[in-house]
Amino acid sequence: MKYKRVLLKLSGEALMGESNYGIDANRLHEYAEQIKEASQSGAKIGVVFGGGNIFRGLKGVSAGYDRIKGDYMGMLATVINGLALQSALESMDVPTRLMTAFNMEPVAERYAPKPMEDAFARSEVVIFSAGTGNPYFTTDTASALRAVEMQADILLKGTRVDGVYTADPEKDTNATKFDEITFDAVYEKGLKVMDLTAFTMCKENNLPIMVFDMNTKGNLKKVLQGEPIGTIIH
């Protein structure tokens, strides 16, 4: 196995499946099956979900919410997604730990490095929720932060496309895919991978990013084994 300790970032929107809102049970089950397969192969896996399938802070501002309260609502949405994934994994007999960036007992345990490492030592999948615990920071930034803290080999960004392209492949049929690209080239070309804060954190900590298609069954394990199915940024 090429990558033995990874942070998997998944968007909340991906959990909607074919729906317009909320959590699609089939998509949740598919993700849980892939994470189970990857965990049973021996990898230490941390997971960060976005919350856009339930509430996104910036959209709340346009609807009249205060930005800070809107961001906290978004953080709570990620906790709901985390609980859903924890429930799905535990139903498959996968030991799982849900951690939150601020106190939410008895819903979940407050994040701290030592309990996280204890969970990894017990081969538990660790789900990091509630973002960084601070407004004005995205779940992309939370995933970069937790990946650095857990000393991940790589940050895996699971999406519905199979990598980074010269343009949006869903809108531009002439877009071409990069097999690998540097952090500087992504920045210079203005490609949308993660927000700039998260992207800079990965670059400064020499943490590579892999963008891949999470919606194809078996891809997560293939990525861990080093199969070239996405785009690696380094």
Answer yes or no: is pLDDT of 168 > 90.
no
Answer yes or no: is pLDDT of 57 > 80.
no
Answer yes or no: is pLDDT of 222 > 90.
yes
Q: What is the mean pLDDT of residues 203-232?
A: 96
pLDDT value at position 181? 97
| Higher-scoring residue by pLDDT: 64, 108 | 108
Q: Of all residues in the chain, what percent carry a pLDDT higher than 90?
A: 87
Distances (CA, A) of 74 to 27, 111, 131, 181: 21, 18, 9, 31
The upper half-sphere exposure of residue 12, i.e. CA atoms within 13 Å in the direction of its Cβ, equals: 27
Answer yes or no: is pLDDT of 75 > 90.
yes
pLDDT value at position 65? 80
Q: pLDDT category, 74, cuts 50, 70, 90?
A: very high
Dig out the tokens for 158 from the structure: 């699971």
| Higher-scoring residue by pLDDT: 56, 17 | 17
Q: Which of 107, 9, 94, 108 is nearest to 51 (CA)?
A: 9
Answer yes or no: is pLDDT of 127 > 90.
yes
pLDDT value at position 149? 98
**Backbone dihedral angles phi then psi of residue 212, each to the nearest 5 degrees:** -150, 170
Q: Where along the chain do its domains lie? A: 5-233
pLDDT value at position 102? 97
Answer yes or no: is pLDDT of 85 > 80.
yes
**Backbone dihedral angles phi then psi of residue 102, each to the nearest 5 degrees:** -145, 165
The CATH classification number of 5-233 equals 3.40.1160.10
Q: What is the mean pLDDT of residues 147-175?
A: 93
Answer yes or no: is pLDDT of 234 > 90.
yes
Q: What is the mean pLDDT of residues 64-89?
A: 94
> What element of type H or E holds 86?
helix 67-91
Q: pTM of the entire structure?
A: 0.95
pLDDT value at position 162? 93
Dig out the tokens for 194 from the structure: 């993660």
Mean per-residue pLDDT of the chain = 95
Q: pLDDT tens digits for 100-109?
A: 999 999 999 9
Q: DSSP secondary structure string, 116-178?
A: HHHHHHTT-EEEEESTTSSTT--HHHHHHHHHHHTT-SEEEEEESSSSEESS-TTT-TT--EE
